[in-house]
Amino acid sequence: MKQSFNQQGAGMMEVLVALLLLSIGVLGFIALQYRAVDAGGEALVRTQAMGLAKELGERIRANQFALASYASGLNAASAATVTKCLGTQKCSSTDMAAYDVSDIQSKAEQLGLQIKMPKCDTAAGKDRYCIYVAWGKTKPIESTSDRQACTKGGIYLPTAKCVIMETYQ
């Protein structure tokens, strides 16, 4: 008489291998989703930074004679006392620049951004101003030694989280 031998447990192994492959696929999908959310957050902050730099650039364009006041106000260590230049209040171009700087710095702080306006490092010399907007651990400065600076020699550092916009002379 011939004995039959039934294989038992092979189906269970196939199911376990399939579950392992499925779990690896799900983990890969989760990693992709995480990267997509992270990239979306970075894009949002970058867009807010560009909007803030553009707004400052337009305010400077409207008040060109106070360009140095914008730069000194944004690069100062502490905020100056500001006259509210709205409505019927009479203000000089310097007062308006101080008000604009205060307003822009307030908006930057609300968005978790830092903003400065140093002279640009250009081939023709430092005759233009640049608006540096940084976030995270990045500092809105140009530096040859600080690894948390936005740029070195006019070139973005690899880990920098910032945008730069050149302004008017």
Other Cβ atoms closer than 10 A to 96: 20
The region of weakest confidence among 12-16, 75-79, 110-114, 161-165 is: 75-79
Query: What confidence score (pLDDT) does residue 35 get?
Result: 94
How many contiguous H segments (helices) and E segments (strands) does the chain have? 3, 6
Q: What share of the chain is helix, strand, coil (3-state, %, to 5)?
A: 50, 15, 35
pLDDT band at 7 (very low <50, low <70, confident <90, very high): low
Query: What confidence score (pLDDT) does residue 9 get?
Result: 60
Residues in the chain, how many?
Answer: 169
Mean pLDDT confidence for 41-61: 94
C-alpha 81, offset from chain centre: 28
The share of the chain scoring above pLDDT 70, in percent, equals 89
Give 82-110 pLDDT, tens digit per residue.
778 777 778 888 889 999 999 999 999 99
Question: What are the extents of the domains in the chain?
Answer: 44-166
